[in-house]
Amino acid sequence: MGEDVRELLRVEPGRVELASIDPGSTPGSGRVGTKGGGKAWARGQLAELGAELARAQEMLYATAKTAAADSVAARRRVLLVLQGMDCAGKGGTVRNVAGAMNPVGVRVVGFGRPTEQERGHHFLWRIKRALPPPGRVGVFDRSHYEDVLVARVRSLVPETTWRGRYEEINRWESELVTGGLVLVKVMLHISYEEQAERLAARLDDPTKHWKYNPGDLDERPLWSDYQAAYAEALSRCSTDAAPWYVVPADRKWYRNWAVAQLLLAALRELDLAYPPADFDVAAERERLAAHVAGQTIG
């Protein structure tokens, strides 16, 4: 099923029509119906997918730890890039999908407005520093793509600058992939209406006020500009080495399920396995038995 989902959600290089992708749709799940209709089903699915994700991630970690230092296996790492408008569910995806894995093997990094120091560097500087080490699964909550999204919409840099970044990003990502990084890029696609509902929910719930930023409302009139910026970034930067996927995200259960499927499909392709022992297991068992038999402490 994971294969199907990738085919269904993948952005063809040079082409994506966001307006024609229904944020409320649930491609590949075989579930339709009212909002929340797939919830119970997805909960069960996510438990299974999560267990497989955890296992795959552990094998990735174990392999990187034990592989010969100069081998590809020792350099293998995975990076899930999450992009989307405010309230698209990046945080919820981190909690539900990345949260299924052992924290020791996962690195989650969020990117906000660049600091003074970061602004003094090339836009990829802070991104490179945040890449997951070998054997880990990294998750980016926003990413270098902000530098062709908000940077464009808010005219933070001249057009020639952000336009030049598409190629720069493609070249850099392709190098990363050649070097053993598996890149899964996901845009969480919500509707204008769903964003309004989620913003209202944040205002209604005091435990969510910390997530609400009055400045976010100023981005809402720019919705179409953002959609155009997303469409171009996704089509220009969906490459064979590092494709983009658009996940309809109005239904949280579908979003979690789809992102888990995409991540899992990438991990499955690595043909991961638990590394064999580099010691004599039978001999160690005997030594342990001898210890237990003559047990004295100290």
Min CB(86)–Mg ion separation in Å = 4
What's the rounded Cα separation, in Å, for the pair 60 and 53?
Answer: 10
Provide φ and ψ at 186, rounded to 5°. Answer: -125, 125
151's contact among ligand AMP, Mg ion, none, with CB below 5 to 8 A by partner kind, is ligand AMP
Rounded CA-CA distance 37/26 in Å is 11
Q: Which 3 state secondary structure label does DSSP give 109?
A: strand
* Contact between 206 and 102 (Cβ < 8 Å): no
| Nearest distance from C-beta of residue 215 to Mg ion, angstroms | 9
Please give the residue ranges that form the binding site for ligand AMP (CB under 6 A).
86, 111-114, 142, 146-147, 150-151, 156
113 binds, among ligand AMP, Mg ion, none (CB under 5 to 8 A by kind): ligand AMP
Partner whose binding site includes residue 55, from ligand AMP, Mg ion, none (CB under 5 to 8 Å by kind): none
Q: Is 44 helix (H, G, I), strand (E, B) or coil?
A: helix
Shortest Cβ distance from residue 124 to ligand AMP (Å)? 10
Which residue's CB comes closest to Mg ion?
Answer: 86
Buried b (16+ CB within 10 A) or exposed e, 3-12: eebbeebebe
**Is the CB of 86 or the CB of 250 nearer to ligand AMP?**
86
User: Of 224, 193, 297, 244, whose CA–CA distance to 81 is shortest?
Assistant: 244
> 37 or 110, CB closer to Mg ion?
110
CB of 83 to ligand AMP, least distance (A): 10
Is-contact 41 31, C-beta < 8 A? yes
Q: Please say whether the beta carbons of 222 and 86 come within 8 A.
A: no
DSSP state of 133: P
Nearest to Mg ion of 112, 298 (CB atom): 112
- CB nearer to ligand AMP: give 41 or 111: 111
Strand partners, 247: 188
Q: Which is nearer to ligand AMP, 103 or 215 (CB)?
A: 215
What is the gyration radius of the CA atoms in the chain, in angstroms?
Answer: 22
Q: How far apart are CA 72 and CA 60, in angstroms?
A: 12
Binding interface with Mg ion (CB under 5 A): 86
CB of 41 to ligand AMP, least distance (A): 30
Partner in contact with 147, chosen from Mg ion, ligand AMP, none, beta carbon below 5 to 8 Å by kind: ligand AMP
294 binds, among Mg ion, ligand AMP, none (CB under 5 to 8 A by kind): none
Residue 31 contacts which entry, Mg ion, ligand AMP, none (Cβ below 5-8 A, type-dependent): none
Kindly tell me which of 113 and 129 has the beta carbon lying closer to ligand AMP.
Answer: 113
Closest residue to bound ligand AMP by CB: 146
